Amino acid sequence: MTITEVSIPERPRAAYRVCIGDAILPAIIPELQRDWPGLRLFAVTDASLRDHGHLAALVGDHGIDSFVIDPPGEVSKTLRTVEAILTALETRRYGRDSLLIALGGGTVGDIVGFAAALFKRGVPCVQAPTTTVAQADSALGGKVGVDSGLSKNAYGAFHHPARVYMDCGTLRTLDERHFRAGLAESVKHAMIADAAFFGYLEANLNRILAREAAVLEELGARNCRIKGAVVFQDPEEAGLRRILNFGHTIGHAVESASGYRLLHGESVAIGIVGACLLGESLGLTPPGIRQRAAALFGRLGLPVAIPKGIPESVLLDAMARDKKAKGQTPRFVVLEALGRVCPAGGHYVVEVRPEMLHTVLTVLAGDGGLAIENGELSI
């Protein structure tokens, strides 16, 4: 088992270990019972993870209570689901001596982390991410929350995990579309912080897509080092941590406007290309970066254009609600080089004139090879 240490000095009690390995789910409960002997464990997963057998592998014969989110996916990422988890805990007489385990992708991690932040004014949560997007990004850093009817991640909190366990073996049960889409977060990390990592992704993509154990563990470790270094310096997004939102301003807008028929990583791929276009328009981002990113996304089979059927007005409305927006004016993270974000005077986001944003969205709405018609996504 590889262990990567993640430390957040401003909140030392929030420092936590990230354990990366293959087929480590059965070892989690015994280790938690050893390290937190006074706490009652409660596992939460979704129906797809239960059906794959991952919940059974986690709880074994340890008699751990569990809750299954059904249906799985973004449709359940709501306050109603959080309330159902909290009610289950109350009904089963859990108290401040509880520890929640989030077994699943980013949606499960966000829901369970948020429930842990709320229950009895906060109980520990252990993240056990099982998807490429969760292992690269969402299980780390402590940002948890759910969607509203109007925007993504509208309600949330900072609630750092007590520990993270990345079982790379769970990625082999992930369907191809979700596996590939989640890799967009790894591409994002490389583009904002590590040009050498970007080269690694280009050179090793076939091995990653073949889901080789060694390369998946290396992928997890590199993502941890990048995100951990950022969160170490800015645990609650006062400045530097904004760089982790590269590609997400347009990406979140496209994702929600698609009715979540586009996956998060697919939307982020579009948003990254859009952010590169904006950076080029501002004279900050060299054009070759966009071409390399688009080529890598092409090899992953990810879209690089806004689907047909999504009005620009809907995207602009969603971006006005973005958490980085100021006075309902969206602000964007842009690159000044591959592996380096434009610091923008220490704010790490730049404002973009409406006419420039309109031009970029028009370019992005070119033929992307997919469409949303009659409520259905076709690729």
Cis preceding linkage at 354, omega within 30: no
**Known active-site residue 90:** no
Q: Of these residues, 237, 255, 266, 280, which one is catalytic?
A: 237
Q: Of these residues, 189, 241, 242, 290, which one is catalytic?
A: 241
**Known active-site residue 252:** yes
Q: What share of the chain is helix, strand, coil (3-state, %, to 5)?
A: 50, 15, 30
Q: Of these residues, 54, 163, 178, 245, which one is catalytic?
A: 245
**Known active-site residue 324:** no
Decide: helix, strand or coil at residue 18: strand
Q: Which residue has the tokens 């009895």?
A: 120
Tell me the one-letter amino acid at 32: L
Calculated CA dihedral for residues 79, 80, 82, 86, nearest 10 degrees? 130
Residue 375 is classified by DSSP as T
Crossing angle for the helix pair 176-193 and 264-281, nearest 10 degrees? 30
Q: Of these residues, 248, 290, 324, 331, which one is catalytic?
A: 248
DSSP string for residues in 155-194: EEEE---SEEEEEGGGGGGS-HHHHHHHHHHHHHHHHHH-
Q: Of these residues, 50, 77, 143, 180, which one is catalytic?
A: 143
d(CA 296, CA 209): 13
**Known active-site residue 358:** no
Q: Of these residues, 74, 185, 218, 266, which one is catalytic?
A: 185
Taking residue 91's Cβ as centre, other Cβ atoms within 10 Å add up to 8
- Strands 125-129 and 98-104 come out as parallel
Q: Of these residues, 13, 121, 176, 355, which one is catalytic?
A: 121
Q: Which two tokens mark 24?
A: 């480590």
**Known active-site residue 153:** no
d(CA 178, CA 264): 9
List 65's β-bridge partners, or say none.
Answer: 42
Q: Of these residues, 242, 252, 324, 331, which one is catalytic?
A: 252
Q: Of these residues, 77, 159, 180, 264, which one is catalytic?
A: 264
Cα of 360 vs its chain's centroid, Å: 25
What is the strand order of the sheet 16-21 is part of?
Answer: 2-6, 16-21, 163-167, 125-129, 98-104, 40-46, 65-69
**Known active-site residue 188:** no
**Known active-site residue 227:** yes
Residue 329 is classified by DSSP as B
Q: Which two tokens mark 248?
A: 């997400």
For the chain, the straight-line distance linking the first and the last C-alpha, in angstroms and rounded, comes to: 38
Q: Of these residues, 152, 227, 242, 331, which one is catalytic?
A: 227
**Known active-site residue 160:** no
Question: Residue 104 in contact with residue 132, Cβ under 8 Å?
Answer: no
Active site residues: 121, 143, 185, 227, 237, 241, 245, 248, 252, 264
